[in-house]
A and B are shown apart, each in its own frame.
Chain A
Amino acid sequence: NAGVTQTPKFQVLKTGQSMTLQCAQDMNHEYMSWYRQDPGMGLRLIHYSVGAGITDQGEVPNGYNVSRSTTEDFPLRLLSAAPSQTSVYFCASSYASSSEKLFFGSGTQLSVL
């Protein structure tokens, strides 16, 4: 198993550009989520999904869209990037929302100029 795979590892955008951060897992996990990590702020939840076709907002959802058309993939879309979205983004998954273990990808470092 590859676990939780995030692409790209690094990305630089200009303000107003759009892009999609990819997240895939091969563990047949129902629950997937996106966090952003900022210095001194810890990790904050952006969006999450408890299964294919179901998504919900976390603590900081503004400026981000998600969809979950398959169990394996949970892409995060930035429709119009802003400098405030410069951050490190982590995708995480678990077997179910009630599972005790949450597995993280290695992260995407995004800079918006």
Chain B
Amino acid sequence: GEDVEQSLFLSVREGDSSVINCTYTDSSSTYLYWYKQEPGAGLQLLTYIFSNMDMKQDQRLTVLLNKKDKHLSLRIADTQTGDSAIYFCAERNLYGGSQGNLIFGKGTKLSVKP
């Protein structure tokens, strides 16, 4: 079945850029997502990209999609301590066996040091 992989941890210094990477196996993914989870909270949709795009920018966030390599990344510019959280990559194939449900990675814990 479909799979989504992420590294588990990332540590950066405040003010630096953070890059969180994700790989997926479903070549027919329709949408790819980044969700943020702060401690004790639910998942907050940060951004998403349609599979026919290769880049999307939203303020400090830049999403890059390489469909050939099935690689998705999230870049956070000028990372702040408030960005410390777990970041989940997810993919959604509206026409495949997962019937439009999201397939999540295990999450990357971002730690921002002052």
Interface, chain A (partner B; CB < 8 A):
31, 33, 35, 40-45, 48, 56, 58, 90, 92, 97-98, 100-107
Q: Which of B30-63 contact A (CB under 8 A)?
A: 31, 33, 35, 41-45, 48, 50
* Interface size in chain B (residues, C-beta < 8 A): 23
B94 interface residue (CB < 8 Å to A): yes
The reply to whether B101 and A48 form a contact with Cβ atoms under 8 Å apart is: yes
Q: Is the CB of A41 within 8 A of B42?
A: no
A31 / chain B contacts, CB cutoff of 8 Å: 100
Q: Is the CB–CB distance between B42 and A98 below 8 Å? A: no
Q: Are A40 and B106 in contact (CB under 8 A)?
A: yes
**A42 contacts B102, C-beta separation under 8 Å:** no
Total A-B residue contacts, Cβ distance less than 8 Å:
51
Majority SS at the chain B contact face:
strand
Q: Which residue of A lies closest to B4 (CB)?
A: A42
Show the binding face of B for A, using Cβ within 8 Å. Answer: 4, 8, 31, 33, 35, 41-45, 48, 50, 88, 92, 94, 99-102, 104-107
